[in-house]
């Protein structure tokens, strides 16, 4: 579990490269863009990491976009 100040809630984090269906280089582009600054939204993630709809669908299916989606209630 990660209890660092940048991740206020306990979480289990897996490497993005472990997600089945991610296209070549997508995980590396996400890591590189995130190293510069955190993502403000899903569209910010897609733009800065140069992700296509397929990669966004893979991330969504793995619930990896929940922290960027906001409160949907």
Q: Is residue 53 part of a domain?
A: yes
Give the pLDDT of residue 11: 53
Cα→Cα distances 7→4, 24, 52, 53, 57, Å: 5, 27, 26, 27, 24
Q: Is residue 51 part of a domain?
A: yes
Query: For the whole model, what pTM was predicted?
Result: 0.73
Host domain of residue 46 = 16-69
pLDDT in tens, 33-61: 999 999 999 999 999 999 999 999 999 99
Q: Considering its fold, how many domains does the chain have in total?
A: 1
Q: Is residue 6 part of a domain?
A: no
Q: Is residue 4 part of a domain?
A: no
Q: Is residue 42 part of a domain?
A: yes
């Amino acid at each position: 579990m990660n209890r660092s100040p940048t991740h206020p809630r306990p979480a289990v984090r897996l490497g993005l490269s472990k997600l089945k269906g991610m296209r070549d280089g997508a995980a590396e582009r996400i890591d590189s863009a995130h190293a510069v600054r955190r993502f403000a939204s899903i569209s910010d993630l897609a733009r800065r990491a140069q992700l296509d709809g397929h990669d966004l669908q893979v991330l969504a299916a793995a619930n990896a976009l929940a922290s960027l989606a906001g409160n949907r209630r």
